[in-house]
Amino acid sequence: MKVALIGCSGMGNVHAQMATNCGLKVSVFADKNIKIAKAIAKQYKGEAITDGMAACERTDIDIVAIATPTPTHLMFVKAAANAGKHIFCEKPFCRTASECKEAIAAAKKAKVKLFVGHVVRYFQEFEAMKTQIAAGKIGEPGFAKLYRGGLLPMGSESWFRDFEKSGGVTFDCMIHDLDWLRYVFGEPERIFCQALMYTKRVPFDYSQVTLRMKSGLIATVIGTWAHPHGFQVKAEICGSGGMIQFNSNEAPMAAMKREVKTGPDWALPSSPVDISPYQLEWEDFIGWIRDTRTPRVTAHDALRAVQMVEAALQSAKTGRPVAL
């Protein structure tokens, strides 16, 4: 199977590598910035183009991988579905829940597989937590605290820093944790959120959520794009018989360069594993296309995650809890 990648910076780079690792040939690289497309196309011996819509319609392509800014996802999903391609779409699924529904309908109509990359479901540390909880190691879980973020990301043309496009840290980053909470603990009941959302005086974002699940579990979720540098994930699950903690700063390695071009460097702890979680999600997607497995995450799950962040941002605007 051959893959066309749309959006070649940031996550696009990762997906090109992961698809290749899975034995797929990435043959078309589309990016508005032809320089970026050409650079990666050269690396993978593929073709560089600027028009993502044209990539969707190529007859020599089986899979379209979308790693563009969120507001463009629906357009590419629809074009790829109409052309009969299977679709790998980076999270967040779409910029609104109604767009997500439109995307699901398009894929259903075209009978193509639409996968959304909620990669945290594939992270080994998160899977380990889920396994321990399922094994009853902490009794009945009653509280969860998840924390994720660090440096405000740039993205091509700084689209992450445009709230209208990215939805800020709540929409783009915290969505991982809200999805994981629903994955492990079931449906949410109501959500309350405070977020900075790039107010005039702060050109960054910090989001704080209180979430009640239908099971009664309470969660506090923090997302930050307010830090001067770094990236950190912390998780804590408390139950009637114990608790679980994870902190990404406690990692097997940390590297620090003496000099870097862009200014001060910092040690970003890293945790090498046998198979990257990004590859695991591609393996799941490919297995689903080949009808050999059911994927861990569905487009419906991705829609629910978008509904949760939409509710969070509605709460942040109104100062009221929002029922889900």
Q: How far is the CB of 132 from other proteins (least distance, A)?
A: 13
Give the torsion through C-alpha atoms of 254, 257, 263, 268, to 10 deg: -10
Of 13 and 232, which has the nearer Cβ to other proteins? 232
Contact in structure between 91 and 302 (CB atoms under 8 Å): yes
* In contact, 24 and 286? CB cutoff 8 Å: yes
211 phi and psi angles, rounded to 5 deg: -125, 135
Q: How many CA atoms lie within 13 A of 249 on its CB side?
A: 10
Nearer to other proteins, 201 or 261 (CB): 201
CA dihedral 172, 173, 178, 181 (to 10 degrees): 150
* Residue placing its CB nearer to other proteins in the complex, 23 or 228: 228
Min. distance of Cβ 320 from other proteins in angstroms?
6
Closest separation between CB of residue 323 and other proteins, Å?
9
Instruction: Report the interface residues with other proteins, using CB under 8 A.
Output: 138-140, 142-143, 145, 147, 190, 192-196, 201-202, 206, 208-212, 216-220, 222, 224, 226-228, 238-243, 319-321
Q: CB nearer to other proteins: give 101 or 148.
A: 148
Q: For residue 72, give the amino acid letter.
A: T
C-beta of 202 vs 260, nearer to other proteins: 202
Contact (Cβ atoms closer than 8 angstroms) between residue 213 and residue 177:
no
Closest among 85, 87, 17 to 57, alpha carbons compared: 85
| Least Cβ distance, residue 255 to other proteins (angstroms) | 22
Torsion of Cα atoms, 241 then 247 then 252 then 255, to 10°: 180
Residue whose CB is less far from other proteins, 252 or 319? 319
CB–CB of 244/236 below 8 Å? Answer: yes
Q: How far is the CB of 210 from other proteins (least distance, A)?
A: 4
Q: Is 195 within 8 Å of 313 (Cβ atoms)? A: yes
| SS3 of residue 304 by DSSP | helix
- Residue 43 or 210 with smaller CB distance to other proteins: 210
Task: Give me the count of residues in the chain.
Answer: 324
The nearest distance, CB 220 to other proteins, in angstroms, is 5
Least separation in angstroms between residue 118's CB and other proteins is 24
